[in-house]
Amino acid sequence: MRVVVTGAAGFIGANIVKGLNARGIDDIIVVDDLSQGDKFRNFADLKIADYVDLDDFYPNFEEGHYGQVEAVFHEGACSDTMEQDGKYMMDNNYTLSCELFQSCQAQGTRLLYASSAATYGNSETFREVPEFEAPLNVYGYSKLLFDQRMRRELGNNFERAKTQVAGFRYFNVYGPREQHKGRMASVAFHQFNQFRTEGKVKLFGEYGGYARGEQKRDFVFIDDVVAVNLWFFDHPDKSGVFNLGSGRAQPFNDVALSVLNTLRGLKGDAPMSLAEAAHGGMIDYIPFPDALRGKYQCFTQADLSKLRAAGCDHTFADVQTGVAHYVKWLARQA
């Protein structure tokens, strides 16, 4: 069984390759742009059949150069929510995805692709229907436009797809193999490094009606993201756009405290309460940056009704469990 993973040197793509390998699948063509050379580390320990540069892959795939491909996990995208070059964003996240979709449908190849919770913007409801979709930046718009294109081509629930098409609106994903992402890496990753170098972690202060560190996000562990992708891989009759989060909103304070207490535990120190950590200066609340005002989601929480209705009953890790696992992994790499 041949599989393609685009964005395979990236965070989610590399973990999907790892998940496929765990099932004994290694006839995998990985697609990416290795201009940032150190990203090779994300799949250096994995088993693949071939690497293809993204500039070569799309036209070659359209012409059938790779034989029969069962499925494409399309994770390749510009995921920098601060990117202001709209043409670059749309070329990468919309136009290429449209071309890939047409090629997959023509060749009978299933398409499982990355959408984003950024499609919802400041909505207070996170359900996969148009009335709650209002992106705050061109990244979110590029993802939403492709979802809308799929609805137009395939019907609201993708019921007209010749072969499976499933899009996943990722919420705040964290976990191993994200070290190359720089400022776009998860809060847990940055806080791990902050605590090791400065002895404290940084969080935003009051903003949007929320007390310091109390803005809430749906933080989802990478192993859960992979598990849901593979569940759909196992169920080729399931198509549509689905939220992929934990279904649980937790404050940034929970992430910070989980990072601190996991690191303390590794040294044999007792866990601290949030009040103790803040009073002791281990959590540094900084003013909310002007550049993010009006462009920041203070609350996200995936509505999992559609995912559950499809039959996926995967149990998601909470922040305390997932972050502890991740911090221990980071510590082993340090």
Catalytic residues: 139, 181
Continuous H helices in the chain: 11-22, 54-62, 86-90, 96-107, 138-154, 187-198, 222-234, 252-266, 274-279, 305-309, 319-333
Q: Are 103 and 61 in contact (CB under 8 A)?
A: yes
CB 213 within 8 A of CB 252: yes
Query: Which residues pair with residue 291 across a beta bridge?
Result: none
* Six-digit token string for 130: 């148009």
Q: Which helix H or strand E contains 41, and what residues bound it? A: none
* Phi, psi for residue 127 in degrees, rounded to 5: -125, 145
SS (H, E, C) 290-329: HHHCCCCCCECCCCCHHHHHCCCCCCCCCHHHHHHHHHHH
Residue 144 near residue 119, CB atoms below 8 Å: yes
Q: Report which DSSP code applies to 251.
A: E
Neighbours of 264 (CB within 10 A): 16
**CA atoms of 283 and 22, how far apart (whole Å):** 38
Q: Is 31 helix (H, G, I), strand (E, B) or coil?
A: strand
DSSP annotation of 282 reads S
